[in-house]
Amino acid sequence: MLRKWRIRTPSEAERSGKAGRGSNATDMDFTKIAAIAGGHAEARALQTATRLGLFDALAAGPRDGDSLADALGCDRRATALLADALVALEVLRKSIGEYVLGEAAARYLVASSPEYLGGMILFDGALWDEWGRLEKALRTGQPVRPPDMFQTDPAATERFIRAMDSLVRARGDAVWTAAHLDLSRARTIVDLGGGPGTYLVEFLRRWPHLRGEIWDLPATLEVARRILAERAPELRARIELCAVDYRAGDLPHPVDAVFLSNIIHSEDEPTNAHLMRSCWRALNPGGIIAIKDHVMDDSMTAPAAGAVFSLYLLLTTRGRDYSFAEIARWLAAAGFDPPRVTALPSPPFSSSIVTAVRR
């Protein structure tokens, strides 16, 4: 039997929704409300600078405004306005008329950095028009784009999958998770809906005896092949890619562990209940399931990142972020032992991992 992971159970305060920062935890004032109202301007400045390659242009060294504009192929006056705004936002520095990358910009905004966050920033930028239709989603209760997990357009698929890889690598989720989950007794693990395989790569690096599989949709697997060839060619022989639609039929052969990161939040309640039953059937006896996601408290207001993210999910999926109590009900109905949950340290993380053992 697989060793149970050392993961704490939620406290009574967490189960009742009294823990964390709820809706009344912070008093609002004019400055905070104004910052929220105008946050789109700051986001758009960062997204546009990333798309133009502004940070890459500064990676080799400082540039004055005219040199920077020429490198980007943009108007000199307009480029200076954007660069000065980024200085004011402390993304860039300015010294003797030249623009210089700040430490965080060099780490997260230059494409050659191993912690490049630009994939996620560009993906957010591509959803600009969808956010403009939030009112429509609220009135209809329906997503404003087809909830196809970005499978129908190859460019959109590439952007989405690289965004997920970018965010996880920059923030460090996969490294932390691999270091804190005991997979010593498992021999096979599946990253279900695993996209680029960012988590699976770290699991295999941490546990050399493991073999892994990514079960995902065909268009996603095409991108995953390219990313794995770029990032982890030494592990490719231990990874199998398998085209699987978990919404349709049973999952493939039994394995020792099933890992789901940011999967359940894209689905509605009946689909998730069905998915937990499918995972139970796909596990060997004593196998474990691990669900990493925003796990909300019972008030559905904390973590705050999850509450806001549910608006994005409203725009693009049929899902939302779910509470531990909801996830526990699905797992119990599927036949799993009582689940346990642990919150990843915040900052920088805002998610938790729910685990359960197959009876």
Q: What is the pLDDT of residue 87?
A: 98
At 274, list the tokens.
């069905």
Angle among Cα 31, 33, 35 to the nearest 5 degrees reads 65
For the chain, helix (H) and strand (E) counts, in that order, are 17, 12
Work out whether strand 255-261 and strand 188-192 pair parallel, antiparallel, or are unpaired.
parallel
> Catalytic residue among 253, 265, 274, 294, which?
265
Mean pLDDT, to the nearest integer, of 63-81?
98
CA distance 78 to 65: 10
C-alpha 273: how far from its chain's center? Answer: 22
**Topology adopted by domain 171-357:** Rossmann fold (3.40.50)
Q: What is the pLDDT of residue 310?
A: 98
With a CB cutoff of 8 Å and minimum separation 6, the contacts of 98 are 62, 63, 64
User: Which residue would you say has higher pLDDT here, 15 or 289?
Assistant: 289
Residue for token pair 């993961």: 7
pLDDT over 80 (residue 7): no
> Is 265 an annotated catalytic residue?
yes
pLDDT in tens, 252-280: 989 999 999 999 999 999 999 999 999 99
pLDDT in tens, 227-256: 999 999 999 999 999 999 999 988 998 999
**SS3 call for 339:** coil
Count Cβ atoms within 10 A of the Cβ of residue 286 and give its class: 0-12 exposed, 13-18 middle, 19 or more buried: middle
96: left (phi over 0), alpha (psi -120 to 50) or beta: left
Q: Which amino acid is at 271?
A: T
**Mean per-residue pLDDT over the chain, rounded:** 93
Any alpha helices (H) in 207-323, and if so which ranges? 218-231, 269-282, 304-316
Q: Which strands sit side by side in the sheet containing 352-357, from one edge to the other?
A: 239-243, 211-216, 188-192, 255-261, 283-293, 352-357, 340-343
CA distance 325 to 263: 17
Mean pLDDT, to the nearest integer, of 19-38?
74
Residue 97's pLDDT band, with cuts at 50, 70 and 90, is very high
Q: What is the pLDDT of residue 259?
A: 98
At 22, list the tokens.
């709820």
pLDDT over 60 (residue 9): no
What's the sign of the alpha-carbon dihedral 273, 283, 181, 239? negative
Q: Which amino acid is at 266?
A: S
pLDDT in tens, 321-333: 999 999 999 999 9
pLDDT in tens, 308-359: 999 999 999 999 999 999 999 999 999 999 999 999 999 999 999 999 999 8
pLDDT over 70 (residue 14): no
